[in-house]
């Protein structure tokens, strides 16, 4: 209804305007050279209105003609962007599905359609890597490096390639470049720590892994290889503070304290560790300065004061007592250990030693020794350092397993208990994020 009313109003206005125009009085005359025009005022006004509209129309046409090539280029650009975006989707789908040929073909199309940008270069590199074409990936990463906005991504990609090749020297150089391009990233910190472990740069590994449970291993290793005694002692102290009961940490610290002439502190650290987790190497350190068997026995007695009934304490006392000729004391300790359930090879070997010390080369002595050796043959194995990764056993602790090359995997292994440390895969390729 409103439309009808509006239509009527407009119709009436047009008719009124036409009528007013027709009723306009007067006339117009104009001369152009030889041409002379003479007409009524209403026709002249009408002609002017028509001329105005024709002028506007011509102007529009002119503008359209001028902007036509630009509009064409913009349209083509939009079309390329649309095609490029479709191709990006294709690359992502192919990457997700592991279809390397499609991924590489579409990645090339993306670069043709959209040109080189961090996004398109990264897609090309990923597609190349998926297809095993490391050269294509490397070209894309190197192109990224030449761009300010792609430097870090380029170095990151090249670093991953170097790690996969196990080219640690190159990887280390690339990690430094990446750090300069984008300092302080968590990912790079992890990568650099892994690289430091691979290249035995223990001090750097320790500095880069502040919160890692593996840090204690790196600190011990750094203390062992650092030629500067002050720095070495500082690393050993860090390791000891991280776990004052972990034998390798305690011994690294105590040895350096002893070298520095701080014997009392060294022995205090070892005694504290013996209280928490007795270990034969701790006893060896504590007894090293005793010169005679009797002094060794006395040193052992002092060491076991906090936990004299621990099987390790009893076995230590028995061993030093046999050496000092205190066979009654040795027998008492061995029997107490057996009563406590200890059935390890070392206990039976001590029994054999005791039989020899007590009874000498007599028939009774030889029979007792044979019996002890028979028991030793079927007894539980002695505790030893064992790799939690490859199960290889070794008498000495080391940061890296000599068999499988994993770092931090050696644990003090007994038949009944294990001193455990979290495991890291030191020798496996660094996980490529």
Pick the binder of Zn ion from 236, 322, 401, 421 (CB under 5 A). 401
Provide the minimum distance between the beta carbon of 407 and Zn ion in the complex, in angstroms, as a whole number: 10
Closest to Zn ion by CB, 109 vs 406, is 406
- The torsion angles phi and psi of 386, rounded to 5 degrees, stand at -135, 140
Closest to Zn ion by CB, 269 vs 410, is 410
Provide the minimum distance between the beta carbon of 388 and Zn ion in the complex, in angstroms, as a whole number: 8
SS3 390: coil
Count of residues that interact with Zn ion, criterion CB under 5 A: 7
Position 403 contacts Zn ion (CB under 5 A): yes
Q: Where are the alpha helices (DSSP H) in 41-185?
A: 41-97, 100-114, 118-130, 134-145, 151-164, 168-181
* Among candidate residues 391, 406, 417, 429, the one with its CA nearest the CA of residue 217: 406
Quote the distance between the C-alpha of residue 200 and its chain's center. Answer: 17
Position 238 contacts Zn ion (CB under 5 A): no
Contacts with Zn ion, 359-398, as mask; x by CB under 5 A:
----------------------------x-xx-x------
Quote the distance between the C-alpha of residue 215 and its chain's center. Answer: 14
SS3 320: helix
Provide the minimum distance between the beta carbon of 400 and Zn ion in the complex, in angstroms, as a whole number: 9
Closest to Zn ion by CB, 303 vs 421, is 421
Closest to Zn ion by CB, 344 vs 389, is 389
Provide the minimum distance between the beta carbon of 426 and Zn ion in the complex, in angstroms, as a whole number: 9
Q: Which part of the chain contacts Zn ion (CB under 5 A), choosing from 250-258, 277-285, 334-342, 402-410?
A: 402-410
Closest to Zn ion by CB, 102 vs 398, is 398
Torsion on CA atoms 269, 272, 276, 282, rounded to nearest 10: 50
SS3 344: strand
CB 342, CB 311: distance < 8 Å: yes
Quote the distance between the C-alpha of residue 66 and its chain's center. Answer: 58
Provide the minimum distance between the beta carbon of 419 and Zn ion in the complex, in angstroms, as a whole number: 16
Task: Please state, as a whole number, how many other Cβ atoms lie within 10 Å of the Cβ of residue 115.
Answer: 11
Closest to Zn ion by CB, 117 vs 403, is 403
* Among candidate residues 250, 235, 237, 244, the one with its CA nearest the CA of residue 203: 235
Position 178 contacts Zn ion (CB under 5 A): no
Q: Which part of the chain contacts Zn ion (CB under 5 A), choosing from 91-99, 135-143, 299-307, 401-409?
A: 401-409
Provide the minimum distance between the beta carbon of 403 and Zn ion in the complex, in angstroms, as a whole number: 5
* Among candidate residues 377, 303, 381, the one with its CA nearest the CA of residue 342: 381
Provide the minimum distance between the beta carbon of 145 and Zn ion in the complex, in angstroms, as a whole number: 38
Q: Which part of the chain contacts Zn ion (CB under 5 A), choosing from 59-67, 88-96, 177-185, 403-411?
A: 403-411
Closest to Zn ion by CB, 217 vs 342, is 217
Which residues, at least 6 apart from 134, have a Cβ–Cβ distance to it below 8 Å?
A: 128, 161
Contacts with Zn ion, 334-363, as mask; x by CB under 5 A:
------------------------------
Provide the minimum distance between the beta carbon of 424 and Zn ion in the complex, in angstroms, as a whole number: 12
Buried b (16+ CB within 10 A) or exposed e, 200-230: ebbbbbbbbbeebebbbbbbbbbbbebeeee
Closest to Zn ion by CB, 263 vs 393, is 393
Query: What's the rounded Cα separation, in Å, for the pair 421 and 53?
Result: 90
Provide the minimum distance between the beta carbon of 422 and Zn ion in the complex, in angstroms, as a whole number: 15
Closest to Zn ion by CB, 372 vs 407, is 407
CB 154, CB 142: distance < 8 Å: yes
Position 404 contacts Zn ion (CB under 5 A): yes
Closest to Zn ion by CB, 137 vs 387, is 387
Position 225 contacts Zn ion (CB under 5 A): no
Q: How many residues does the chain have?
A: 433
Provide the minimum distance between the beta carbon of 153 and Zn ion in the complex, in angstroms, as a whole number: 36
- Order across the sheet with 384-387: list the strands: 393-394, 384-387, 410-413, 418-419
User: Greatest CA separation found in the chain?
Assistant: 160
Closest to Zn ion by CB, 398 vs 404, is 404
Which residues, at least 6 apart from 3, have a Cβ–Cβ distance to it below 8 Å?
A: none
Provide the minimum distance between the beta carbon of 215 and Zn ion in the complex, in angstroms, as a whole number: 20
Contact residues: Zn ion, CB under 5 A: 387, 389-390, 392, 401, 403-404
């Amino acid at each position: 209804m409103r439309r009808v009313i509006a239509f009527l109003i407009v119709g009436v206005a047009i008719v009124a305007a036409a009528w007013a125009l027709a009723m306009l009085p007067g006339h117009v005359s104009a001369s152009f050279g030889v041409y002379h025009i003479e007409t009524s005022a209403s026709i002249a006004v009408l002609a002017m209105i028509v001329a105005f509209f024709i002028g506007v129309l011509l102007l529009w046409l002119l503008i359209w003609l001028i902007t036509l090539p630009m509009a064409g280029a913009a349209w083509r650009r939009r079309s390329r962007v649309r095609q490029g975006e479709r191709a990006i989707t294709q690359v992502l789908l192919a990457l997700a599905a592991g279809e390397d040929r499609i991924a590489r073909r579409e990645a090339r199309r993306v670069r043709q359609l959209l040109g080189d940008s961090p996004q398109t270069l990264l897609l090309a590199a990923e597609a190349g890597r998926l297809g095993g074409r490391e050269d294509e990936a490397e070209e894309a990463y190197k192109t990224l490096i030449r761009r300010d906005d792609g430097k870090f991504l380029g170095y990151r990609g090249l670093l991953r390639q170097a790690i996969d090749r196990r080219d640690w020297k190159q990887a280390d150089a690339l990690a430094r470049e990446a750090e300069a391009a984008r300092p302080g990233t968590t990912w790079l910190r992890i990568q650099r720590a892994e690289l430091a472990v691979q290249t035995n740069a223990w001090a750097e590994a320790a500095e880069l892994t502040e919160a890692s449970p593996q840090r204690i291993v790196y600190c011990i290793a750094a203390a062992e290889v650092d030629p500067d005694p002050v720095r070495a002692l500082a690393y050993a102290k860090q390791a000891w503070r991280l776990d004052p009961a972990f034998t390798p940490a305690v011994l690294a610290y105590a040895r350096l304290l002893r070298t520095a002439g701080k014997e009392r502190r060294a022995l205090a650290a070892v005694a504290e560790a013996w209280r928490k987790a007795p270990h034969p190497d701790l006893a060896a350190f504590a007894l090293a300065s005793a010169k005679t068997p009797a002094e060794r026995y006395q040193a052992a007695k002092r060491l076991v004061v906090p936990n004299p009934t621990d099987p390790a304490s009893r076995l230590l006392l028995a061993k030093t007592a046999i050496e000092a000729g205190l066979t009654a004391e040795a027998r008492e300790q061995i029997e107490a250990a057996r009563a406590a359930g200890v059935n390890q090879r070392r206990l039976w070997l001590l029994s054999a030693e005791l039989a020899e010390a007590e009874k000498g080369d007599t028939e009774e002595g030889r029979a007792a020794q044979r019996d002890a050796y028979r028991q030793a043959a079927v007894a539980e194995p002695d505790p030893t350092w064992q790799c939690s990764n490859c199960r290889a056993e070794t008498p000495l602790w080391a940061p890296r397993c000599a068999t499988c090359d994993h770092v931090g995997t050696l644990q003090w292994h007994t038949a009944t208990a294990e001193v455990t440390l979290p495991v890291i895969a030191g020798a496996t390729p660094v996980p490529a994020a």
